[in-house]
């Protein structure tokens, strides 16, 4: 799929993105000492054998992101398939929102569970540990039995079996 989308958007790029139906949107954000530019390109999904594997695909897109910091420039290109019509501003907002959620979750995992400090490196262990951390985070976020932040809930559950059992009981609906 990646190569199919790469080929498709390479053709659009060779035409200077002046293709009928191709929509473009550009955003620039400056914060925390960095400047980030995003360019979104979406078009109605062409009729192709590759895309038929995904029923309901209505648009394909490419996002180019360039981040400038004091340490240099980083850029990346991502490709997207979507069941939404190629309404560029709506898709850009959804995609940006998705990464905001991802970034917030990573921040919580790093701060609360010290995920970046993990020394687990062998085999499938890093993926398994990450899955357990995310599961624990989801359980703690859903818990309403304790009025505490995630870090506090985690600590209290580790110190007191009654708190841990209350969290489990709340999860099961008892």
Give the tens place of pLDDT for each residue, 16-73: 888 888 889 898 988 777 888 999 999 888 887 777 888 888 888 889 989 888 888 8
At residue 26, the pLDDT reads 92
Per residue in 25-53, is it b (16+ CB within 10 Å) or e — as a string?
beeeeeeeeeebebbbbbbebeeeeebee
Verdict on whether the full-model pTM lies above 0.75: no
Phi, psi (degrees; rounded to nearest 5) at 120:
-75, 120
- Band (98; pLDDT cuts 50, 70, 90): low
Q: Are residues 5 and 79 in the same domain?
A: yes
- Band (13; pLDDT cuts 50, 70, 90): confident
Q: Are residues 85 and 114 in the same domain?
A: no
The answer, yes or no, to whether residue 136 has pLDDT greater than 70, is yes
Number of domains forming the structure of the chain:
2
Q: Can you give the C-alpha Rg of the chain in angstroms?
A: 21
Percent residues over pLDDT 70 in the chain: 93
**What is the DSSP code (8-state) at residue 17?**
T
Q: Are residues 4 and 33 in the same domain?
A: yes
Helices (H) and strands (E) in the chain, counts: 5, 4
Phi, psi (degrees; rounded to nearest 5) at 24:
-130, 145
* Dihedral sign from CA coordinates of 51, 57, 61, 65: negative
At residue 112, the pLDDT reads 77
Domain holding 112, by residue range, is 103-174
Q: Which residues, other chains included, contact 162 with Cβ-Cβ below 8 Å and sequence gap of 6+? A: none
Mean pLDDT to the nearest integer, 160-166: 86
The answer, yes or no, to whether residue 174 has pLDDT greater than 50, is no
Q: Are residues 10 and 65 in the same domain?
A: yes
**Residue 25 domain flag:** yes
Cα–Cα distance measured from residue 31 to residue 50, given in angstroms and rounded to the nearest whole number: 39
**Residue 95 domain flag:** no
Q: Are residues 58 and 21 in the same domain?
A: yes
Q: Are residues 78 and 150 in the same domain?
A: no
Closest CA to 151 of 160, 141, 161, 142: 141
Cα–Cα distance measured from residue 99 to residue 104, given in angstroms and rounded to the nearest whole number: 8
Average pLDDT value for the chain: 82
């Amino acid at each position: 799929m990646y190569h199919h989308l790469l080929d498709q958007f390479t053709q659009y790029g060779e035409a200077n993105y002046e293709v009928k139906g191709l929509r473009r949107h550009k955003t620039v954000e400056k914060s925390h000492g960095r400047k980030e530019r995003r360019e979104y390109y979406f078009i109605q999904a062409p009729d192709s054998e590759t895309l038929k594997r995904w029923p309901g695909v209505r648009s394909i897109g490419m996002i180019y992101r360039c981040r400038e910091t004091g340490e240099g420039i980083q850029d990346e290109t991502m490709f997207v398939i979507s069941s939404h019509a190629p309404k560029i501003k709506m898709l850009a907002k959804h995609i940006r929102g998705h990464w905001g959620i991802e970034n917030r979750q990573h921040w919580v995992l790093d701060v609360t569970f010290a995920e970046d400090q993990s020394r687990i490196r062998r085999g499938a262990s890093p993926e398994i540990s990450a899955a357990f951390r995310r599961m624990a985070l989801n359980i703690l976020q859903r818990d309403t039995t304790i009025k505490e932040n995630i870090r506090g809930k985690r600590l209290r559950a580790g110190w007191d079996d009654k708190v841990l059992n209350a969290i489990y009981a709340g999860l099961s609906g008892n």
